[in-house]
Amino acid sequence: MLSLAATFLGLLLVTFLIARVVPIDPAHAILGERATAAQIAELHEKLGLDLPLWQQFLIYVRDILHFDLGTSVRTRDPVLDEIKRYFPATLELATLATILGVLVGVPAGVLAATRPGSWVDQIVRLVGLMGYSMPVFWLGLMGLLLFYGTLGWVGGPGRLDVAYQMTFDFEME
């Protein structure tokens, strides 16, 4: 349990430091270009950015432990609401990718393993190596181009509305 707590604290420290080394001032990002120096100083004080770094980190850890993830600089909505909004799509994508990977990858791997050195083994190895080596964003765009743009087999980019409605319909009522 102690190693889990140390790992969690280390991850919090890394994310905290990454957010602090970004050259963008959060007050400027929140208030915009037309903010006065007084408004920026007031927001710095409100956010605790005028405190020493160690105090900022303690406040950060306290807020995380209370599930207060702050406010999105981009949308000005609570971050927890943003996560609630986008997590179903992420879960859907990860689940479908895992299912597809297992349904295709396991039989292909078994087929290649039962015929070592054959042309089937070589093709499975090549496809696996290409899939592992290609950037995911490029592979996704090529998949859209082929299956949506050229073949017309899928409905295009977007959510699986039917599956989404069936799974998360209870939240909307």
Q: pLDDT at residue 169 above 60? A: no
Residues 6 and 53 in one domain: yes
In terms of domains, do 10 and 52 share one?
yes
**18 and 48 in one domain?**
yes
pLDDT of residue 157: 67
- 151 domain residue, yes or no: yes
Indicate whether 86 and 34 sit together in one domain: no
Instruction: Tell whether 56 and 91 lie within a shared domain.
Output: no
Contact present, 71 and 77 (Cβ < 8 Å): yes
Together in a domain, 35 and 90: no
Read off the pLDDT of residues 25-84 as tens digits, 9 standing for 90 and up.
878 877 878 888 888 889 888 888 888 989 989 999 999 999 888 887 778 788 899 998
pLDDT at 173 over 60: no
Query: Would you state the torsion angle of the CA atoms of residues 121, 122, 126, 127, taken in this order, to the nearest 10 degrees?
Result: -40
Closest by alpha carbon to 87, among 2, 171, 173, 3? 171
Same domain, 45 and 113: no
What is the average pLDDT score of the chain? 84
Please tell me whether the overall predicted TM-score, pTM, comes out greater than 0.85 for this model.
Answer: no
Instruction: State the average pLDDT over residues 8-26.
Output: 87
Question: pLDDT exceeding 90 applies to what percent of the chain?
Answer: 29
Q: What is the pLDDT of residues 133-148, one digit of tens each?
A: 989 888 888 888 888 8
Count of domains observed in the chain: 2
Q: For residue range 25-42, what is the model confidence (pLDDT) as tens digits?
A: 878 877 878 888 888 889
Residue 28: domain span = 2-68
Which H helix or E strand runs over 69? none
C-alpha 108/C-alpha 106 separation (Å) is 5
